[in-house]
């Protein structure tokens, strides 16, 4: 009987220990399920590039008039951009000027008299505002503002040439894409439409109204940005 009672007591103790262990394990599991774990805050999105600051550059390209005349040009650019922290919008002002050879020449036979007329845009430039949307290193932008050009008109017949130059003013509008390929350097491609008011030319004592001068330009350029 002592052996039986002794074994019974051991079995009871093992049974109680097993029940206690099961209860403790269940409680711990419930506690783990109920315990909240805070989520990590999303990482802040920080733009890798900022377009703010002064820049200076060189540009060139090809231009053509709406009615006739075409040619190349080359010059320089200076400007300033503003981009507020956390914003993808970029605003700025830009000044450019270029020497040009956008010309048209026509020779007509007027009753046996050959008469040649020529017009040539020698230089042009603009002062424009610029607004763009930055995608890190890329900037899509539109621009527009004041434009000017120096134009020369001439007429030749019987070995004699009369010519006059006038400065025209008007507006320009367009846009382009600029890309920062290095921390301080960017490349751009741009299209602009320019419309200039009429001026009167004096050709050998005869006044000639030029009419509106409209021309288009496609340019490429490289800018250096001061950081």
Largest CA distance in the chain: 150
213 in the Ramachandran plot: left (φ > 0), alpha (ψ -120 to 50) or beta?
Answer: beta
Q: Tell me which of 86-100, 105-119, 181-195 is least confident.
A: 105-119
Banded model confidence at residue 38, pLDDT cuts 50, 70, 90: low
Average pLDDT over residues 154-174: 93
Query: Quick one: pLDDT at residue 193?
Result: 98
Query: Quick one: pLDDT at residue 27?
Result: 47
Query: Quick one: pLDDT at residue 49?
Result: 81
Report the SS3 class of residue 197.
coil
Banded model confidence at residue 33, pLDDT cuts 50, 70, 90: low
Average pLDDT over residues 139-156: 96
Is the Cβ–Cβ distance between 124 and 100 less than 8 Å? yes
Task: Check pLDDT > 90 for residue 89.
Answer: yes
Query: Quick one: pLDDT at residue 17?
Result: 47
Q: Tell me which of 28-32, 52-56, 79-83 is least confident.
A: 28-32
Banded model confidence at residue 10, pLDDT cuts 50, 70, 90: very low
Banded model confidence at residue 35, pLDDT cuts 50, 70, 90: low
Task: Check pLDDT > 90 for residue 25.
Answer: no
Query: Quick one: pLDDT at residue 4?
Result: 41
Percent of the residues in the chain that have a pLDDT greater than 90, as a whole number: 64
Query: Quick one: pLDDT at residue 95?
Result: 98
CA distances from 89 to 81, 131, 175, 204 (A): 10, 7, 15, 53
For all residues of the chain together, what is the average pLDDT? 85
CB neighbour class for 81 (10 Å; exposed up to 12, middle 13-18, buried from 19): buried
Average pLDDT over residues 46-66: 89
Banded model confidence at residue 194, pLDDT cuts 50, 70, 90: very high
CA 59 to chain centre: 14
Query: Quick one: pLDDT at residue 14?
Result: 43
């Amino acid at each position: 009987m002592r052996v039986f009672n002794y074994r019974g007591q051991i079995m009871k103790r093992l049974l109680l220990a097993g029940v206690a262990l099961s209860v403790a394990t269940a409680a711990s599991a419930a506690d783990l399920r109920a315990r909240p774990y805070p989520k990590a805050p999303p990482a802040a999105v920080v733009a890798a590039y900022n377009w703010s600051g002064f820049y200076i550059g060189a540009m060139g390209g090809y231009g053509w008039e709406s009615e006739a005349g075409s040619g190349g040009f080359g010059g320089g650019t200076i400007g300033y951009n503003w981009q507020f922290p956390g914003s993808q919008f970029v605003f700025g002002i830009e000044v450019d000027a270029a020497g040009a050879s956008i010309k048209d020449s026509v020779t007509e036979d007027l009753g046996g008299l050959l008469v040649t007329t020529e017009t040539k845009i020698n230089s042009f430039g603009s002062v424009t505002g610029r607004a763009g949307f930055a995608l890190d290193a890329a900037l899509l932008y539109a621009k527009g503002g004041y434009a000017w050009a120096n134009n020369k008109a001439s007429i030749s017949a019987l070995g004699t040439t009369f010519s006059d130059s006038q400065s025209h003013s008007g507006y320009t509008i367009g846009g382009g894409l600029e890309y920062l390929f290095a921390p301080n350097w960017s490349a751009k491609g741009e299209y602009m439409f320019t419309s200039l008011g009429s001026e009167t030319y004096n050709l050998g004592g005869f006044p000639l109204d030029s009419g509106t001068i409209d021309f288009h330009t496609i340019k490429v350029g490289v800018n250096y940005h001061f950081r």
